[in-house]
A and B are shown apart, each in its own frame.
Chain A
Amino acid sequence: MAKRWFKVKKTAVPVIIKKIKKNREIKALLYLLPALLIITTFQIYPVFKSLAMSFYTDFDYLTGEVFKRGLDNFQYVLTDPDFYLALKNTFIFVLGAVPLSIVVSLGFALLLNSNIKLKNFFRSVYFIPFITSTVAVSIVWRWMFNKEFGIVNAVLMMLGINKINWLTNPKMTIPMLVLLSVWKGMGYKIIIFLAGLQNIDEKYYLAAKIDGASAWKRFTSITIPLLTPTLFFVSITSVISSFKLFDEVYVLYDKQTGPLKSGLTIVYYIYNKFNRYWQFSIASAAAFVLFVIILIFTLIQLRIGQKKTNY
C-alpha cells in the first residue's frame, strides 16, 4: 500500500505540469502574472483606494482608520473658486493645444510624407523633443524666455521689437504652455500620422487625380476621410494628456502656478491639495472629478469616431 501511494504521488506532479502545458490559458496567465501583480499593486489598487478616499471626511492618515464618510469633499471641491479657476485654465489649454498640435503635426507629417530630401533627418529632429525629459526642456525654455537674459527677447530686440515678459505676464501663461506642449508632442504625433498616411494606398490618389480632384480636394476627400482612425486616436490621446497637464507648469514656473495662478491646472490643484496642504481626501475627490471629465470627453470622441469611420 505504501508503495502504491508513493507511486501515485510521484506521477501527480508531472500530470499537473502537463495539464498546464496543454492549457494555453493557464500558460498565458503565468506569463502575464508578474506584470499584472505590479500593475494591480501600483496602479489599479491606488485608483480604487483614491476613489474610496474621496469619500473620507474624517480619518487618520497614518493608521488608515476612517471615522466618517460623506460627500463633503466633493462639496468642497465643487464650491472652491480655485478649482473652477483650474478647470477654466485646463479647458482653455486643451482647446488651444489639441487642435493646434494636430494641425501642426499633420502638416509636418504631410510634408515628410511627400518626397522631400533628408526625410529621415527631419523625422529624427522632430522626434527629439518627445524623448527629451520635460524637466530639462522646461528649464531650457525658462532660460530662453527670460525677460532680461533670454535668447528670444534678444532676437526680438535685434528686430526692433520690445522685450516681452513671457513668463511673468499672466496672459502669456496658457499660450506658453500650449506652445511648449505642441512643440514637445509633435514628434510622436508626426510618427503616428506618418504611419496613417502610409497606410493610404497610392491608387486612391491616382484615381482622384484622374477624376479631376485638385491637390486640396484630394486632401479633403481622400486623405482626411481615410485618416480618420488615426485622427481619432491622436485626438483622444492628446485630449487625455492635455487634461493631465502638470510637469510643464511645475518646472516652467518654478514650482508655482504661474503669475496670478494663471497656470493653475486641475492636476496642479490636486497636487497642491495633496502635497502642500495635505488634504488627501479633497485631492482624491478632485482627481475623481478629473477622471469623470476625461471619461466623458473620451466617450464623446469614441462615439463620433465610430460614426465617422464605417467602411
Chain B
Amino acid sequence: MRIRLENISKKFDTVYAVKNLNITIEDGELVSILGPSGCGKSTTLFLIAGLYKLSSGDIFFDDKKVNEVEAEDREIGMVFQNYALYPHMTVLKNIMFPLRMKRVSKKEAEVQAREIAKLMHIDNLLDRKPAQLSGGQQQRVAIARALVKKPKILLLDEPLSNLDARLRIELRDEIRRIQKQVGITTIFVTHDQEEAMSISDKILLMKDGECQQYASPKEMYMNPANEFVARFLGNPPINLLSGKYLEATNSIKIDDTDIILNIDEYTANLNSRNEQVTIGIRPEDIYITEKEYSFIGDILSIQTLGKEIYVKARVGKWEITMVTSWDLDLKIGDSIALGIKKLHIF
C-alpha cells in the first residue's frame, strides 16, 4: 500500500514533535526514519499507526484518507521497541491474537500462526511464555505477531536497539529478507545510520520534527542536502571546514589557510552560493598522492581498524580524517600530500 503524508504536524502542548512533513512511500518499499533521539521519528510512526492523533495535515493509505480511522482498523502490523509481547500468553497465543481479533476461527488461526512462526524460525518456541525467551527470540515473535494478519503496512519502532551487535546485523538482514519475501510496505524507525543505510530503499532523515532529506541511501550519502545530513551519515564522520566562496574564480578559500580549491576541478555537490560556506569532505574521498595535490597535512594519529586505517592529519588549524589502505607506510609526524575526489558545499 502507498502511504502519503501531506503536511502533517503533531504538537505536544507548545512543542512541535513533527512539523509539516510531506513524503510519499511507494508500495512495497522499505523506508527508514532516521534521526537523533527526540527528532520526532517515533512520533511520525505513531501518527501513521493511528496511536497519536494528527494536529494538522492528512495521511493517505493509497487514496484513502485515514485521519479518522482508528489504529485497530488501519490494517497495520507494528513491532514496538520493547516488543510488548503479552506476558500472560504463550508465543503461539501471542501470534494468534491478531487473527482471533479478526474473528478467524481458532483452528485456522493456529495454522496461520504456525506458518509465520516457521518463516521467522521460532516454530520450536511456540509453547513458551515471553519471559522465557531471549531478546532476539522475543523480537522474532514480535515480528511474527505483526505479520500474521497479513497487514498492508509494517511499522517497526527501533526494533533492534535492545539487541547485541551481532544479533542486530543478523536480524537486520532477516527483516530485509522477510520484507522482500512478503512484499510489504515497511517503515523502520532507527537512530543508527548504518542500520538505515544497509536495509532501506529510502531514508527519511529528521531533525527537530522536520524532514532534512528524503532520498535513497546512496543519494543521501552522495549528495546530502545540508550540513546536518552530511554530518549524520558516514563513519568516520565527514570533515567539515569553513571557507569563503570567491565568485570571480569559482573557487573556495579555506579559512585560516592559503588553500584555494577551484570548484571546477572537482566533482562538487553544490548546495549553497553564499559567501560564507561550509566545505564537507568524506574521509574516503581524500587520498594520499605524489602527483597533483590539494593540500599538505601532518599526520597526527593513525588508527588501525582491520581492513582499513583511519589517519588524522593537521592542515593549518584543521584536523582532517581520512580512510586509507594498509599498504602505505605511514608514521606519525609524516607530511603527506592529499588529493580530494569530491567536495560538498553547504
Interface residues of A (CB under 8 A from B): 201, 203-204, 206-214, 217, 221-222, 225-226, 309-311
Contacts and interface: CB of A to CB of B under 8 A. Distances in A.
Contacts of A207: 78, 80, 84-86
Nearest to B70: A209
Nearest to B46: A206
A212 B96 CA distance: 12
Given A206-B51, A311-B131, A212 B84 contact: no
Contacts of A204: 84, 86-87
Contact of A311 (B77, B87, B98): B87
Given A203-B82, A311-B129, A311-B131, A209 B88 contact: no
Contacts of B76: 210
Given A209-B71, A211-B149, A212-B102, 18 more contacts: A203-B84, A206-B51, A206-B80, A207-B85, A209-B70, A210-B51, A210-B76, A210-B77, A211-B101, A211-B145, A212-B73, A212-B98, A212-B101, A213-B101, A221-B97, A222-B86, A226-B88, A311-B130
Contacts of B80: 203, 206-207
Nearest to B51: A206
Interface residues of B, number: 26
Contacts of A222: 86
Contacts of B85: 207
B49 interface: yes
Nearest to A203: B84
A48 B275 CA distance: 96
Choose among B70, B86, B131 the residue with the greatest number of A CB atoms under 10 Å from its CB.
Answer: B86
B308 interface: no
Interface in B61-91: 70-73, 76-78, 80, 82, 84-88
Contacts of B84: 201, 203-204, 206-207
6 contacts: A206-B84, A207-B78, A207-B85, A209-B51, A212-B149, A309-B88
A213 B73 CA distance: 9
A104 to B, nearest CB: 25
Interface string B274-318: 000000000000000000000000000000000000000000000
4 closest cross-chain pairs (CB), A and B = A203-B84, A207-B84, A211-B98, A212-B101
Nearest to A225: B88
B71 A210 contact: yes
B59 to A, nearest CB: 15
Contacts of B70: 209
